[in-house]
A = this chain, B = another copy of it.
Amino acid sequence: MTASDISASAALDARFKGAKILITGGFGLIGSTLAHRLVGAGAAVRLLDNLDPDSGAHRANLAGIEDKVDAVIADLRDGEAVKGALADRDILFNLAAQTSHLGSMKAPLADLDVNARAQLALLESCRAVNPGLRIVFASTRQIYGRPDYLPVDEKHPLRPPDVNGVDKLAGEAFHLLYHRVYGLKTTALRLTNTYGPRMRIKDAHQTFVGVWLRAVLEDRPFEVWGGEQKRDLTYVEDSAEAFLRAAVTPATEGQALNVGGERPVTLRELADTLIAVHGRGSFVVKEFPPERKRIDIGDYWADDRQFRDATGWVPQVPIDIGLKKALEFFSTRMATYV
């Protein structure tokens, strides 16, 4: 970071001092990163998370701030718990989700209940008990499906390729609708792959990057499916910064905006970079497994100029540095995370 980036970051933090925050999915990758930053900024942070063992949630993600947050262990589908947790808050970072694409095909109704139904119930609760709440919702590039053109901007047709995509699209649509019809102060961020410290590495539930990190740290070769697909990735602290900037930018209310990465890379380039920063390791390129291939979206990278223009957000952490930080984080915590 440059000196001006650091002072911009400090100025942003100052805006959250004393703010009452709720983070759903607060034990997950982005949620916990936001929690650390907001506790550091002097915010009053409450988390709501069900600690689902199949999700990105991990108790260790709050290490160091356990006593500085109010953790509500509840499922987003528990409407009364959600209503109670959000009633006195200023800002909601709404990150709780069922995120597995394959999981959504295996248990489609559960995915619908978390990603669409519980979101609708949450918005109804906001209307009822806290209509002034500022809400930033984690949406996903998944709702675009296989791109017609690249980079993908917000005008791209929405063509969700799996149940998860349909449900997330509905969840996003409810947020935008409740802004338009009831004036709720909602923004949706359409995220791409997010990675970094505190991500799930024990398996591939939270992007392929997690399982790659684990493999190189365990001196095992990892599998790259396909290899030539291009993707953009967001380092988790950049992602947290995007959520904070959205929250303090009223011009983003009622909008769904892409948040991308520094630049697109092929999976092969990403794999090579990981090995280069670790100093050793290897991978094998494999064909896509069939049950994955039929819901895969091919190349994707975001045109996120709308979001950058509205908020001044620019990703700060290039992929080699981000991977290095993730490796450093996990290298001393393997027993906890795998």
Contact = CB atoms under 8 A, between A and B. Distances in A.
Interface of A: 105, 108-109, 112-113, 116-117, 120-121, 124, 155, 157-158, 160-163, 166-167, 169-170, 173-174, 177, 180-181, 294-295
B157 A166 contact: no
Listed from nearest, the 6 A-B pairs whose CB atoms lie closest are A166-B173, A170-B170, A166-B170, A108-B120, A181-B294, A112-B117
Contacts of A180: 161, 294
* Majority SS at the chain A contact face: helix
A271 B108 CA distance: 45
Contact of A295 (B117, B124, B181): B181
Contact of A170 (B105, B157, B167): B167
Nearest to A294: B181
Nearest to A174: B166
B169 A181 contact: no
Contacts of A124: 108-109
A157 B108 CA distance: 25
Given A108-B124, A162-B177, A170-B170, 20 more contacts: A109-B117, A109-B120, A109-B121, A112-B116, A112-B117, A113-B117, A116-B170, A155-B157, A160-B173, A160-B177, A161-B180, A163-B177, A166-B173, A166-B174, A166-B177, A169-B169, A169-B173, A180-B294, A181-B294, A181-B295
Contacts of A113: 117
A124 B109 CA distance: 9
A184 B169 CA distance: 22
User: Which of A116, A124, A155: most chain B CB closer than 10 A?
Assistant: A116
A166 B116 CA distance: 10
Contacts of A116: 112, 116, 170
A97 B34 CA distance: 41
B169 A105 contact: no
Contacts of A169: 169-170, 173
A157 B160 contact: no
A121 B108 CA distance: 8
Contacts of A160: 173, 177
Given A158-B158, A173-B160, A174-B163, A181 B120 contact: no
A188 to B, nearest CB: 13
A337 to B, nearest CB: 32
A174 B105 CA distance: 11
A180 B158 CA distance: 16
A69 B335 CA distance: 64
Contacts of A173: 160, 166, 169
A122 to B, nearest CB: 11
Contacts of A162: 177, 181
Contacts of A294: 180-181
15 contacts: A105-B181, A108-B124, A109-B120, A112-B117, A113-B117, A157-B157, A158-B158, A161-B177, A163-B174, A163-B177, A166-B170, A166-B173, A166-B177, A167-B170, A181-B294
